Amino acid sequence: MNEPKMNPGVLRLLVIFPNVLSYLLLIGVGIYILTNYSGLQQAGALSFWMLVFLLLAPVSLFTTYSIVKKIRKGLM
């Protein structure tokens, strides 16, 4: 059975756009932590936001690495 193939440009866009959004989220969380550091520390929520930041960073980096690897192999 023949599967319809997607245009590589559209495929790249569908894969890269969420990755860009994850970087924007990472930057936003970082700015939020920096601007509200003392308030988060007093409320006891600093550890939660640091954990969110530390989990989001490697996920974004790994996704970028896998996208670049697939593009270099010619799969996208």
Range of the domain at 33: 15-71
pLDDT at residue number 5: 78
- Is residue 30 one of the residues assigned to a domain? yes
- Is residue 1 one of the residues assigned to a domain? no
Domains of the chain: total: 1
- Is residue 4 one of the residues assigned to a domain? no
- Is residue 48 one of the residues assigned to a domain? yes
Q: What are the tens digits of pLDDT across the range 19-36?
A: 999 999 999 999 999 999
- Is residue 5 one of the residues assigned to a domain? no
Return left, alpha or beta for 60; rule: phi > 0 is left, psi -120 to 50 is alpha, else beta.
Answer: alpha
- Is residue 29 one of the residues assigned to a domain? yes
- Is residue 8 one of the residues assigned to a domain? no
Contact predicate 10/54, CB 8 Å:
no
The DSSP call for residue 75 is -
pTM of the model: 0.79
